[in-house]
Structure 1
Amino acid sequence: MSADPAGRRPRHLLPYLLIAPSLLALLVVLGYPLVDMVTLAFQDMTRKELFSGTAPPWAGLGQFRTILGDGFFWTVVARTALFTGVCVTLTMGCGLLVALLMRRTSPWVRAAVAGVLVAVWAMPVMVAAAVFRWLFDADYGLVNWLLSTLPGVDLARHNWFTDPWEGFAVITAVVVWGALPFAAISLHAALTQIPPELEEAALIDGARPSQVFRYVTFPAVKPVFVMGTTLMAIWDFGVFNQIWLMRGGQPEREYYLLGVYSFIESFAVNRYSTGAAIALVTVVLLLAGAVLYLRQTLRLGETE
């Protein structure tokens, strides 16, 4: 009996040894930039120190006092939170609808839809942004032409990005369009694990279709839905490429989200430490989302 724990000790260490190379790679690839960003956020880096190679002066919490005392920063935070909420709601809602529709279709239709979703998912963000810029172009856009064919609608040479609300609607469409395949395929995979007998029994007992979905179907896919919602929130909170590409590399202040704001402060205004401080605050907010994701994962693991 006494020799058994000692004999099993190498087996207990085996999982840690297997993940050690991956952890080491993550520390090398992500650890150094993160430490450098944190250090830069507490300094006052200017172009003088950048070009001369001298150490920048220590600023302490000065950068954080600057951004946290700036009303525009909190406007960007609120805008980012609102944008994330809208994108996540539309993505998961439409993804669940597509997954339910795929479940009701024939196998060949389901395979075709899955193929289209995978093709959309594989499309680079740059290509997707270029397609949507053409669709909503003020002069040659297909959307303006189609809407102008409706009675009483004249959108000839209408610029969708003059009004930030309309512009963000277009950007939201790009984000949701690119994230929808992940949500739909994941939820459809969860739906395939529901025994048909459960729903048939509920219908025989007199439950309406809406009640079957509420009390039988959705509880079965809820774990995947919660995980997908958490991941989408983390991804959408850090959106940068879609805004940058849709605005041609020159986004107006009305289109700043936290990622764009940090980049502009660092590389356009050359306030490197201020940009690093904004990025660090963004990382902290994303870590809060990551903690929520891990808690949900552990909780679902315990229930199983």
Structure 2
Amino acid sequence: MTTLTKAPESAAGRETPVRRRRRLDHVPYLLLLPCALVIGVLLLWPLGQVVVMSLYDLDSVRQVRGEREWPWAGLGNYAEILGDPFFRTVLRNTVLFAAANVVLTMILGTLVGLLLNRLGRRMATFVGSCVMLAWATPALTGAIVWKWIFDDTSGLVTWFFNALPDGLSGALFGRANWTGYGWFNDPLLFFAILTLVVVWHSFPFIAVSVLAGLKSVPSELHEAARVDGAGPWRVFWSVTSPLLRPVFGILVVLSTIWDFKVFTQQYALAGGTQDRSTYMLSIYSYATAFSPPPKYGLGSAAAVILTLILLVVTGFYIRALLKQEEL
């Protein structure tokens, strides 16, 4: 009987685990390559174009003439933007508005997330679905609805104040007839309404994200804290909040980015770019680029400055968050 034996592989031809691992090291990069190409085309290329445009003295006249050679401005556009006193006012408005909206959105979203976590499954599903309607509503649609609510003739707010007794309305607000009152004319009142609109549209995402984080917290930790005599407030600050710190960190970064570049709601409520007293960086960049006389180079420089501010703020916050995680 003949027995066939397999010839032993040579050491040089046998694939070791280390060699196999090295051969497969490039596979994740190949899988990520299509996504990286899409991001590069859709995000990085337009951003690069804006940076290039910010370095030239580009306006609509040269675009209409079809001039191929744009006058080089270098950092002149940035110097003009940063030297403009009105830019500092716009930057102050943006920072104060973003800070107020981030705080209010995080507080309201966290409270709603805690509420959803305490409700039963059916009620939590119903309430969560209702809350997510605000998040699902397009920003422009929501802004139009809120503008109607504060309409000076037929809006719900105007109707409510007109329904108050004349004596009470006059004693509290100094006027009895609210028909024709311009709710969007006063800058402080305009920012208050804009804050209401942005927080209403943003808090559902925070609530659902906090709810997802709460579901990952072991219930045994809460039970142990209650056994030790901790109340709900103490349980949240000593047990829940430290465990959800990474979630809160990401949500704060996202909220900061969104609130810094609010555009649609402000443009819709203000009815354009006429009211300069309510300008923020997004509207300022748009108005500089497209309002007569259009200055695309200056508008691009303002957009790049806004992007750099967001990168710096986000970088510092993520660095602080990583340090806390290491500690």
Match for residue 10 of structure 1? 23
Match for residue 297 of structure 2? 273
Residues in 2 aligned to 1:30 and 1:210: alpha-carbon distance in whole angstroms: 43
Contact 2:139/2:264 (CA < 8 Å) preserved in 1?
yes
Contact 1:243/1:251 (CA < 8 Å) preserved in 2?
no
Contact 2:267/2:273 (CA < 8 Å) preserved in 1?
yes
Which segment is superposed worse, 67-76 or 8-17?
8-17
Match for residue 269 of structure 2? 246
Residues in 2 aligned to 1:13 and 1:301: alpha-carbon distance in whole angstroms: 30
SS at match of 2:26: helix
Contact 1:95/1:183 (CA < 8 Å) preserved in 2?
yes
Give the drift of 1:169.
Answer: 0.9
Which segment is superposed worse, 196-205 or 182-191?
196-205
Structure 1 unaligned regions, length at least 5 = none
Residues in 2 aligned to 1:53 and 1:9: alpha-carbon distance in whole angstroms: 53
Residues in 2 aligned to 1:182 and 1:166: alpha-carbon distance in whole angstroms: 26
Residues in 1 aligned to 2:79 and 2:150: alpha-carbon distance in whole angstroms: 40
SS at match of 2:25: helix
- The 3 A distance-change label for structure 1 pair 12 and 272 is same
Q: 2:308 aligns with which of 279, 284, 291?
A: 284
Match for residue 88 of structure 1? 102
- The within-5 A match list for 1:203-282 is 203-269=226-292, 270-282=294-306
Contact 2:273/2:283 (CA < 8 Å) preserved in 1?
no
**Aligned CA-pair RMSD:** 2.1
Q: 2:55 aligns with which of 36, 42, 63?
A: 42
SS at match of 2:229: coil
Residue type matched to 2:126 in 1? A
Q: 1:56 aligns with which of 70, 94, 119?
A: 70
- For normalisation by structure 2, the TM-score amounts to 0.86
Larger of the two Rg values belongs to structure: 2
The structure carrying a bigger helix percent of its residues is 1
Residues in 2 aligned to 1:129 and 1:25: alpha-carbon distance in whole angstroms: 31
Task: Write out per-residue CA displacement over residues 19-69 of structure 1, whole angstroms, 9 at most, x where no aligned residue.
Answer: 111111111222322222111111101223111221211011111111111
Residues in 1 aligned to 2:269 and 2:254: alpha-carbon distance in whole angstroms: 23
Residues in 2 aligned to 1:190 and 1:171: alpha-carbon distance in whole angstroms: 29
Q: 2:85 aligns with which of 71, 75, 87?
A: 71
Residues in 1 aligned to 2:309 and 2:83: alpha-carbon distance in whole angstroms: 18
Task: Write out per-residue CA displacement over residues 206-242 of structure 1, whole angstroms, 9 at most, x where no aligned residue.
Answer: 2232211210122222221111011100111111111
Task: Write out per-residue CA displacement over residues 160-218 of structure 1, whole angstroms, 9 at most, x where no aligned residue.
Answer: 11111111111111111111110000001111222222222212212232211210122
Match for residue 40 of structure 2? 27
Structure 2 unaligned regions, length at least 5 = 1-10, 170-175
Which segment is superposed worse, 198-207 or 91-100?
198-207
- For normalisation by structure 1, the TM-score amounts to 0.93
